Structure 1
Amino acid sequence: MTTVSLTDVAGYLPGNPVPAEFYTEYPGAEDKLRDNPMFKVPPLRHHVAADETNVDMVERAVQPLIERHGADEIRSVDVLLMHSQLPDTPFVGAGTEVARRLGLKPTSLIDVANAGCASFVHMLELARQILTSTDARTALICNAQSAAGQLFTQSEVRPLAQAAIPGDGCGVGYLTTSASAPVLGVVTRHISDYGGDMTAVLDDGRKYWEPGKSQLRIGFTEAGVATVLERGNRLVPEVVTDLCRQLGLSAREIDLLVTNQPNRTFLHNWREALQLPADRHPDTFDSCGNLFGAAIPITLDRAIRSGQIKDGDLVVLSGFAHAGDFAGAAAIRWGAGHTGHGGNMR
C-alpha cells in the first residue's frame, strides 16, 4: 500500500490577542451558564479583521509551506480539501477560491461541511484515501475558523458565556506519498444518533436567512451542555484507545497527543483518561481559545516549532465535533523532515 505522510503543517492567527475583558466587562444580562466548566474563559484569543475572509487566512497560513517547499511544489498539489467553520458566502464553499488565490489546479477539490472541531482528522483520512487509491500524490488540507470575531462579537451575543470561548485562526496540512512522517492509521466515527443536537438559535423564531433583528447564537442549554460534556469526555479517549489497539500499541506509548481545544475541562479529562502527563498534551486554549477545526493543526504547528516533537515520536491527533456527532483519531510516526521548521504564526 502507498505510504502517505503528513509532511508539514502551518498556522496563522489574525490580529493582536484580544483579552478576556473584551467579553467579561461588556454590559449585559447575567448568563446562568457562566459558571459551567464548558465556559471557563481563556485569557486571550484572536479575531479576524472586519474584511478578512476564510480564503485570506488560508492564503496566509499556506505561506510558510511555500517558503519551505517552494511555490511550484505547493501549486502542483493534486488534492485540496477545505473546511470553513463559518462560510463567508452562501451556496459555494471556499475551496475553489482558495485554489484560484493560490494558483492550484487540483484534480480533486472537496469542501467538507461536517466533522467541525475534528475536521482536520476527517480531511486527513479523506486525503489519505484519495492518495492511496488514485494517481494523486500530494494534498493540501485547510481549516479556517472565523466565527469568533464575527458571530460571537454581536451586541446581543457578546454578553453570553459562550461568546468568550472561541478564537479565530487557520491551520493547514501538506500530505505527500512519502515516508517522511507516515500516517499509521485513522479511526473515525460518524455518530448519527447525535446528529442535529447542536443548534443555532434566533429568539424571534425566524430562519437565519430571513430578515429580522435577532442575532444568531448557539443554542446552549444546561441539559444540553451536560450532555455534551459527557459525550466529549468519553468520545476522544474511546477513539484514541481504538486506534492504539488497532496499531498494537498502548495509549501510554503516545509521545504527543494533539486534540481540539474546546475548554480546560475536556483537556484535563482526556489526558487523565489516557494516562498521559500534561507535557505530552500541548495546550493552546489559554492563548487562542477554542479554535474549532483549526485547533489541531495550529496546536500541532506550535508543538513542532517549540521542539516538543522529536524524530520518531508517535503523534496522535484527535477530537470530537459539535454535540458528539463525529469523533476521530489519527496516528503519525513523526519524521526528520519536520524538525526545525519555522512559521509565521504569531
Structure 2
Amino acid sequence: MKPVVSLADVSSYLPKDRVSADYFAKYAESGAQASNVMFKAPAFRHHVAPGETPADMVEAAIAPLFERQGADFLDEVDVLITHTQLPDLGIVGSGGDIAHRLGINPEWLIDLHNGGCAVFVYMMKIAKQILETTSARSALIVTTQNCAGQVFTQDQVRTLPQAAIPGDGAAVGLLTKSDESPILDIEAIHLPQYAGQMTVMADPPRKYWEAGEGQMHLGFTESKIAKVLARGNRIVPEVAAQVCKRIGVKSSDLDLLVTNQPNRLFLRNWRDALQVPKERHPDTFEDCGNLFGAGIPVTFDRAVREGKVAPGSLVMFAGFAHAGDFAAATAVRWKG
C-alpha cells in the first residue's frame, strides 16, 4: 500500500527591492504590443539585488520552515528538486549549490529545467512519486524566479512592454510521508508541439550563448500572443477540472484556487471558467507581478500567513507553462 504524501509546509521570499511601474513607464517605447492585455503592468514587483544568487534566495525562503518544523528537519530530506528560472551556474544548474548551502546531501537531487510557471505542481508530482515508491523520508521542492531584476532591467530590454510584468521571488515546499495535508490528486499534461514557441531572441539575431550586441529577451508577435492567450485560457481550467472529477468535487466547491499569474485577464478567465469567486482566488500580481514558477507557492504562502486558508480547506493549485507546452493541477486538503 502506498504511503500518503502531504504538502506539509510552504514558505517564500521576496527580494527587498520593491519597484513601481513608474520605473518602466519612463523608459517605455510606444507600439502595438504596449496596449495588449498581456502587458498591462502591475503596480509593483520585486527585483533581486546585484550579486544575489539562487542559493541566497532559497536560504531566505526556507528560514520560516526551521521555526515551524524544527532545527533538524533537513536531516530527513532525501529528495531535493530545484527549478531556477535563470541558473547562475552554466551547465550544472543551481541544485548542487543550493544543497551545499543548505548543508544536505540528498540521495535524489534533480535540477528541473522545464515546467515553467506550473513547475511547483510538477515538482510535487515527481517528489510524490519518489516518496511513494522508495524509502526516501521527505522531499524539498524549490523554485526560484530571478530574471526580472537581471534580464528585464537591461537598457535595451526595459523599454519593451514585457519588461514591466515579471517580478522576482523564491519559494520552498516540504513534502512528507504523512496525512498532515494530503495531496489528493495531480494532473499533468505535456503539449510538446508548442515547446518551441517560447523563444529567446536578440537584435541582431544570434544563438543565446553567442556574443553579440543585442540583449536577449522573449520574442513576442501579435499572432503568438493570441495563441498563448487561447491555450492558457483553455488548458488551466481543463487540468483543474480533471482533478476535481477524480476526487469527486465540483470546481465551484473549492475553498481556494491558486494559479500562476501571467496577467489579470488569465486570472479572471480561469476563476470564471471554474466558477470560483474572486475572494477564493488569491493572487499577488499587483504587488509581485508575474513570478513565473514561484507564483503559486508565494501566493499560497501569503494567503496562509494572512489567515485566508482555514484548516481543512480544499486547495487547488493550477497553472500552465511557457507558450502552453505544459499544464498541471493538484488538489491538497490543507490542515495547516
Amino acid at match of 2:174: Y
Residue of structure 1 equivalent to 2:8: 7
Question: Take 1:237 and 1:198, find their aligned partners in 2: how far apart are those partners?
Answer: 21
CA deviation after TM superposition for structure 1 residue 75, in Å: 3.7
Question: Is the Cα contact below 8 Å between 1:79 and 1:109 reproduced in 2?
Answer: yes
CA deviation after TM superposition for structure 1 residue 33, in Å: 0.4
CA deviation after TM superposition for structure 1 residue 146, in Å: 0.5
Question: Take 1:221 and 1:54, find their aligned partners in 2: how far apart are those partners?
Answer: 31
- The one-character-per-residue Cα deviations of 1:71-92 (angstroms, maximum 9, x if unpaired) are 3112431100000011112101
Amino acid at match of 1:216: M
| Structure 1 gap segments, 5+ residues each | 339-346
Amino acid at match of 2:187: V
Residue of structure 1 equivalent to 2:280: 280
CA deviation after TM superposition for structure 1 residue 194, in Å: 1.1
Question: Is the Cα contact below 8 Å between 1:31 and 1:160 reproduced in 2?
Answer: no
Q: Determine what percentage of the aligned residue pairs are the same residue.
A: 55
SS in 1 for 2:72: helix
* Backbone CA RMSD of aligned residues: 0.9
Question: Take 1:45 and 1:185, find their aligned partners in 2: how far apart are those partners?
Answer: 32
Q: TM-score, normalised by structure 1?
A: 0.95
Residue of structure 2 equivalent to 1:183: 183
Equivalent positions of 1:15-164 (< 5 A) are: 15-26=16-27, 29-164=29-164
CA deviation after TM superposition for structure 1 residue 47, in Å: 0.2
Residue of structure 2 equivalent to 1:251: 251
Residue of structure 1 equivalent to 2:268: 268
Q: TM-score, normalised by structure 2?
A: 0.98
Residue of structure 2 equivalent to 1:234: 234
Moved more, 125-134 or 87-96: 87-96
Question: Is the Cα contact below 8 Å between 1:80 and 1:139 reproduced in 2?
Answer: yes
SS in 1 for 2:90: coil
Question: Is the Cα contact below 8 Å between 2:11 and 2:65 reproduced in 1?
Answer: yes
Amino acid at match of 1:16: D
Runs of 4+ residues over 2 Å off in structure 1: none
Question: Take 1:31 and 1:107, find their aligned partners in 2: how far apart are those partners?
Answer: 51
Does 2:335 match 1:308?
Answer: no
Question: Is the Cα contact below 8 Å between 1:4 and 1:128 reproduced in 2?
Answer: yes
CA deviation after TM superposition for structure 1 residue 133, in Å: 0.3
Moved more, 188-197 or 283-292: 188-197
| Structure 2 gap segments, 5+ residues each | none
Question: Is the Cα contact below 8 Å between 2:76 and 2:137 reproduced in 1?
Answer: no
Residue of structure 2 equivalent to 1:325: 325
CA deviation after TM superposition for structure 1 residue 320, in Å: 0.1
User: How many correspondences in the alignment?
Assistant: 335
Question: Take 2:173 and 2:160, find their aligned partners in 1: how far apart are those partners?
Answer: 33
SS in 2 for 1:324: coil
Question: Take 1:40 and 1:25, find their aligned partners in 2: how far apart are those partners?
Answer: 15
Question: Is the Cα contact below 8 Å between 1:65 and 1:74 reproduced in 2?
Answer: no
CA deviation after TM superposition for structure 1 residue 209, in Å: 1.5
SS in 2 for 1:318: strand
